[in-house]
Amino acid sequence: MKEIRRARLTDLFYWLPLPLISLISLCLFSCATIPELQVLYRPAPPLKHLEGRAVALRVEDKRASKRILGQGAVKEFKGFSGNVSLSVARADENESRMGIFSVPDLMREAFRIRLERLGVKVLSGPARGKPELVIVLREFSLDLEGWQWIARMGYEARIVKGGVTLASQSINGQAQRFQSLGRESADLLMGEIFSDSMNALNLPRLFTQAGV
């Protein structure tokens, strides 16, 4: 029975115009599921500790390897594009999807949200006389070792003005989660380490130390 069905499908494609065959093939290809790493960011409470300040924001990608997935994780995310889907948790526990980003753009978007929740105006680019918050990304990775997902994230935050670093803080984190839900466990883990690492940076203290 299966062979008969295949023969009929072949005959159908034989009589179809070439443009229509191409369109059908494109639709079938676009419907294929592409594995996507999803990060849910839970920002710290919106306290206006830095109201009235303005800063430019820049991310420098200094990772030793630009690949997110280790050898173990690659097997679970076949066809992974290297980009990350970012959602932000709201106070009502609903989620706002922000879009799909490269890792440096993911960091920039999350820091923009964090700064604005502290009352800081994020400038569109460097401005004369204004400080710059430079995020130096050191690590952003996910791997599967045995039955454990392992996530690592590290970065340095610097307040720079006039080409001089006025203050800096370094954040490094590692977390793991049992692979009980497959890729969903990986998404949960990346959301946890991302939120913890982002919120661990004491921005009010950084600005105070820099005197800006």
Q: Do residue 2 and residue 67 come from a single domain?
A: no
CB within 8 Å of 139: residues ≥ 6 apart: 63, 64, 152, 153, 154, 155, 172
Q: What pLDDT is recorded for position 123?
A: 95
Q: Do residue 78 and residue 182 come from a single domain?
A: yes
Range(s) of the domain holding residue 187: 34-210
Q: Do residue 73 and residue 51 come from a single domain?
A: yes
Report d(CA 4, CA 12) in Å as an integer. 12
Q: What is the pLDDT along the chain (212 residues), one digit of tens a residue?
A: 333 333 333 443 444 454 444 444 444 333 445 568 999 999 988 888 899 999 999 999 999 999 999 999 998 888 888 899 999 998 766 788 999 999 999 999 999 999 999 999 999 888 888 999 999 999 999 999 999 999 999 999 999 999 999 999 999 999 999 887 678 899 999 999 999 999 999 999 999 999 99
Q: Do residue 2 and residue 75 come from a single domain?
A: no
Q: What is the CATH number of the domain that holds 43?
A: 3.40.50.10610
Domain count, the chain: 2
CA 197 to chain CA mean position, Å: 12
Q: Do residue 16 and residue 2 come from a single domain?
A: yes
Q: Do residue 205 and residue 131 come from a single domain?
A: yes
- pTM (predicted TM-score): 0.81
Report d(CA 200, CA 157) in Å as an integer. 11
Q: What pLDDT is recorded for position 17?
A: 55
Strand locations in the chain, DSSP E? 37-41, 54-61, 84-89, 95-101, 121-122, 132-145, 148-161, 164-178
Q: Do residue 10 and residue 65 come from a single domain?
A: no
Q: Do residue 145 and residue 95 come from a single domain?
A: yes
Q: What pLDDT is recorded for position 59?
A: 97
Q: What pLDDT is recorded for position 128?
A: 87
Tell me 69's DSSP state: B
Q: Do residue 147 and residue 56 come from a single domain?
A: yes
